[in-house]
Structure 1
């Protein structure tokens, strides 16, 4: 196993649980694998496929995912193929011929195409194992349910002796049991890897308006010069708007959402994977097929609907194990809209509960990583030191009067106002609605003039999370005071609010000088520096990698990962043998690329 790992994948040791999972599969036992994105799931079935006789059938939901995996395997000298709708008849016929000859070690196939091949190709070849990738898609409790996955139990009926491996990055207990039942797995062993991704920094900013969000994003991207990142937005229109603003700022950006044509989506994904654009602005439709190992950051422009979605999306950063940053914005408007979606969904109760847990994560004042891991049933006995709460613990103050002003405004308007109208009342704004409804005659009109509107947004969001009022989503989002709110309003209890800390910007969007370090400087850790690494050499190696990738029309990270390049720039091997000893370089890559990279290193070290 170790010899195959080094020879094909270039690693000298397994990651946690990989060896146990592979052993289980080699013993032809059914296996359910839960491993976070970037945790090394693929090797769990790819390596046994190389050691077993026959062809491994890998069921995968997305063409882009298949393409990426097949290219990566071929780049390691492994014969892998994909049967999907992008192939023409000749290509499919050639692939079937190769499979019948026993030459193909891994065949990737969509669930729809699989059904058509069950009684034809699959009956003619020796199958080593079935790997069901993104297995949460089979369960209606999973966050990406796909009806075509539910037909996969036929594999157990038709091939009772072939081991089934189900793999997913996120599945709670209900989903796990459903996967096992739907695939008719026989007494499977369940492996749950740690969900901790310590290389990801976690940062949340609340109550920002569009201008503030964009300034923060520009600042953030400036710190990640030339590094790939994803910005997730809640709506299609928002992805386009954000992309437009980034382009105007000189940042090469692609857009990806379900409203675009297949060709446009493929082009966006292709440009991103091949580093022709730095950023992709996308809805949640994007990413399941992304195996790009050097995504250095992920930003959520809006609050995601669940921790599962959030975890899977931030997991697309830092798959190579190097430090990567994540940033989540959320506002009152996000919560109103997502609650409306949840309330109108088929699984109202579950979706509302999932949204509540996401909200708790965003609003927490304890280590965010602990909250995240706890959601997946994992406990951590220490704070992570790599989230904004750990680095800048929140300060509280007695905000009773602020809360009373807001609640009084709600009460005097007969609990018939939405959040924006309430802010207008408190700020003493003379809008058409305020005048027409006579809100300018209320005692609370203008009592909060001294507090900027954006700070009122923040304080009201805190009050919502503290349970002082609720939003009646079925009544035009009117605010209703709760029992806890009444206690504060009538002076029976005090209310503690968190001090708002913001970066100060000058008029033109440049930061004003401050004595203390800027929030972003404290929040985003500096990238990992390898011992003795030379930045100029790293850049030259990166240029060579790009050239080699372009010659083969494959993404650069498939030639060598960023991590491997960093190791080369620090250890500077000058022989092909020494080049082959670097982590991530197998025999095939050593023989194929060794001379080119050694030549650059030798020139540099002369």
Structure 2
């Protein structure tokens, strides 16, 4: 058995253990898409390659296994500042974590790490390679569950952040026999993915490729000039953004621009820091620390800041200049809105940025690498000049197909400016053709503008009939039109010896030969701005589009409460010397403001609240919520509207990867939106129908990639019931693996088909079984009694809102006595700072069948465990020998100490 994997017996219980760890340490009751299957695969000892968007929860994939397996996870990360942020955050979640690197001042960390004293251990690739074999042998003996390589695109020479040291990490495999290697990145094309797998010698890796889409981000691009007047406009916009809340990062392409923008921010009274490669390491570290701790709200930096920030509440990322590649732009803009809240990404460029190709190509060591850099830079340039949906273009670059415009970028939300450009296009195409296709856009544009520079005269281009016929438009307007014609396929651009050459494509030749054919195109923002001869910033100004503000479904009073709670969090963070987001995220604080929990138990039931938070901070927050709510005339314990609060609208056909082609998308759309049957879809517009099983597999593929699903209907039509799901889970537990279907099928009755097993796998990976089947036994537990099988919602409602007919006095915040209270039968105490251990079953002491059951905390835990969850009403009915108030108080205490948590209206044992 691989040393990194859990035992077969452990594998059977890993699902429940994973969810328990997720709630206890991170405060969440369910995994995001792909997380469960990745964690499960890692714990089976198999290598993984994970490509998921920034903010989609990649880090959870390597943070959960060590908490379940009780072995160390080693994580290689490229930047010390990034590791320090992650360690700080994990410690605030109660996870034992440290890092090894040049700035580590504690000399005992290395020896403790060697003994397996940490759950998660970070190190740089240089440190990992330099550590002696003795270190790895000792750590292997202590227990290591995985070796993760974060930002794995740094391995590939085709990646945008190539680090040679990453290429040597495969050498550690000989010291870590049987330990699964896990490569993770947010930006990897197919070519880069292959390079990563080969470089790390990944053995039959499980490849998980999620969507690259970040639906909460608004993308916008504006052309600009680098005058002081423009910088003043930028400063005004950033100043307005700071009043809204959240942090801002401004990426500049040069140190000079960085210093100039930073000076303008300081002069305007904005608290801003600066970060670039020529600063000393201590100065960079101090600048970084004050930014993550919210001591300043704006960071002006070169790309040296790049991946070195793990701050979830960055609300705005600005690129001041065209980035060197679309990959780096995606990576850097991805620092924005990592907590899922609406955020904005603006890119300001000017035409002179596009002349930096030679500078970037100078980094190349061979012609192949030079062409790769040029291709990446050209992709970034085309993104700047788009007139169509930016998100669609960005996703397509990473091989992900999208069928509709996003409605959340400047091109989708702005006014459509369409015009017949046939005359201007005919002029430009003719001029490009007459110049022989041996130049970039500058030469034909200069000819159209009537220039008589030496080269034009020498080539007799001043004698061309279209010479000086384009004086009505400025040069940049013509260049923008050229880019637009490239995007529509009338011009094509090729690279030869590092030079970009523009020529007329076959489509353009046809247009010229047709003569006079209308060509209606949407003008780009740059073309409109050039025509207006004014500032090219949108007249409405500002960095936050109205679509972002409108998505905040929170009242004015609740927003005031949220601002007050931000101040409470800031004070706590300053007192203990950590970053505010490490205590809890903005999303969690917004939930506090919306729900306004009156007790620690109700606080504990909110997503994002973990055991460590409850034990250290719940009293402070409950007290302040009560006090502030009274000032604002807000009632406590209001759970209405929580589901849609601050939610980001998710298009039903959003983010469909390349492998989800027309057939799969159409099948899903017909089933979900038109409510066609599987049989009707199989025959839809087909001379020869496909199999219904194929239709089902198409729909499941769509579900895996984020499309919404009516799961109740799907399970009903496919025949997957709670009982069948329970039988399948038991069979998997008996076999000990999901790798092969046949052994699982052999453990099941004939009526359970292979198709049902596949459906179970998909639904289980997406975490929808419990949500759909409620308290039904889908985890392999014995069938429930009629009493316990009842829906739990009424019990939950009684506890959360109170029952007017049976008043219950519930204590305030969780205090130390409530958090450590246990039954009188054994007198033991459980510290709230320690993980809650599973309690042993209490022997029944000869009670008569007619004797009413008396509630103790241990007895409640046993009841909840035996039934795979219990509602308040079922618990009260079962313990008829105790008063309702006593049962409620004990459940409250158990939730405070994280012995149980609530999900789908039921109390589940951690």
Q: Normalised by the size of structure 2, how large is the TM-score?
A: 0.59
> Which of 210, 214, 234 pairs up with 1:197?
214
Q: Distance in 1 between matches of 2:581 and 2:567?
A: 12
> Which of 216, 224, 228 pairs up with 1:208?
224
State the 1:586 CA deviation: 0.3
Q: Please state if 1:105 is matched with 2:119.
A: yes
Count of aligned pairs: 598
Q: Please state if 1:36 is matched with 2:53.
A: yes
Q: Distance in 2 between matches of 1:292 and 1:282?
A: 15
- Name 1:548's counterpart in structure 2: 572
Residues 137-173 of structure 1 show CA distances to partners (whole Å, capped at 9, x for unaligned) of 1222222111111221122112211121111111122
> Which of 173, 176, 184 pairs up with 2:190?
173
> Which of 397, 405, 410 pairs up with 2:419?
397
Q: Distance in 2 between matches of 1:411 and 1:31?
A: 50
State the 1:269 CA deviation: 1.6
State the 1:370 CA deviation: 2.0
CA contact (8 A) 1:416 1:478 kept: no
- Name 1:529's counterpart in structure 2: 552
Mapping of residues 212-251 of structure 1, within 5 Å: 214=231, 217-218=234-235, 220-226=237-243, 227-251=246-270
Q: Distance in 2 between matches of 1:109 and 1:522?
A: 40
> Which of 260, 265, 286 pairs up with 2:279?
260
CA contact (8 A) 1:388 1:523 kept: no
Which deviates the most, 404-413 or 57-66? 404-413
Residues 259-297 of structure 1 show CA distances to partners (whole Å, capped at 9, x for unaligned) of 322223222222221222222222222131211000001
**Higher Rg of the two aligned structures:** 2
Mapping of residues 33-182 of structure 1, within 5 Å: 33-88=50-105, 91-92=106-107, 94-125=108-139, 126=142, 127-182=144-199
State the 1:87 CA deviation: 2.1
> Which of 379, 383, 387 pairs up with 2:401?
379
CA contact (8 A) 1:134 1:168 kept: yes
Give the SS at the match of 2:336: coil
C-alpha distance 478-569 of structure 1, shift in aligned 2 (>3 A): closer
Q: Distance in 1 between matches of 2:549 and 2:520?
A: 34
Which deviates the most, 370-379 or 208-217? 208-217
C-alpha distance 153-417 of structure 1, shift in aligned 2 (>3 A): closer
Q: Please state if 1:573 is matched with 2:597.
A: yes
- Name 1:280's counterpart in structure 2: 299
Q: Distance in 2 between matches of 1:357 and 1:424?
A: 24
Mapping of residues 481-520 of structure 1, within 5 Å: 492=515, 498-499=522-523
CA contact (8 A) 1:73 1:79 kept: yes
C-alpha distance 600-344 of structure 1, shift in aligned 2 (>3 A): closer
> Which of 358, 367, 388 pairs up with 2:410?
388
State the 1:55 CA deviation: 1.8
State the 1:118 CA deviation: 4.0
C-alpha distance 411-112 of structure 1, shift in aligned 2 (>3 A): closer
State the 1:337 CA deviation: 1.7
Q: Distance in 2 between matches of 1:378 and 1:469?
A: 23
- Name 1:10's counterpart in structure 2: 27
Which deviates the most, 549-558 or 215-224? 215-224
C-alpha distance 218-497 of structure 1, shift in aligned 2 (>3 A): farther
CA contact (8 A) 1:64 1:289 kept: yes
CA contact (8 A) 2:242 2:297 kept: no
> Which of 381, 384, 395 pairs up with 1:359?
381
C-alpha distance 470-248 of structure 1, shift in aligned 2 (>3 A): farther
Which deviates the most, 151-160 or 246-255? 246-255
Q: Please state if 1:587 is matched with 2:603.
A: no
Q: Distance in 2 between matches of 1:99 and 1:521?
A: 45
CA contact (8 A) 1:410 1:479 kept: no
C-alpha distance 267-385 of structure 1, shift in aligned 2 (>3 A): same
State the 1:552 CA deviation: 1.7
- Name 2:390's counterpart in structure 1: 368
Give the SS at the match of 1:534: helix
Unaligned runs of 5+ in 2: 1-17, 631-910
CA contact (8 A) 2:237 2:541 kept: no
C-alpha distance 381-464 of structure 1, shift in aligned 2 (>3 A): closer
C-alpha distance 521-278 of structure 1, shift in aligned 2 (>3 A): closer
State the 1:456 CA deviation: 5.6
Q: Distance in 2 between matches of 1:422 and 1:523?
A: 40
State the 1:303 CA deviation: 1.9
- Name 2:332's counterpart in structure 1: 313
Mapping of residues 298-447 of structure 1, within 5 Å: 298-338=317-357, 341-342=360-361, 345=364, 346=366, 347-392=369-414, 394-402=416-424
CA contact (8 A) 1:530 1:567 kept: no
State the 1:176 CA deviation: 1.6
C-alpha distance 299-523 of structure 1, shift in aligned 2 (>3 A): farther
C-alpha distance 268-98 of structure 1, shift in aligned 2 (>3 A): same
Q: Distance in 2 between matches of 1:474 and 1:510?
A: 34
C-alpha distance 303-26 of structure 1, shift in aligned 2 (>3 A): same
Unaligned runs of 5+ in 1: none
Q: Distance in 2 between matches of 1:329 and 1:511?
A: 10
CA contact (8 A) 2:241 2:544 kept: no
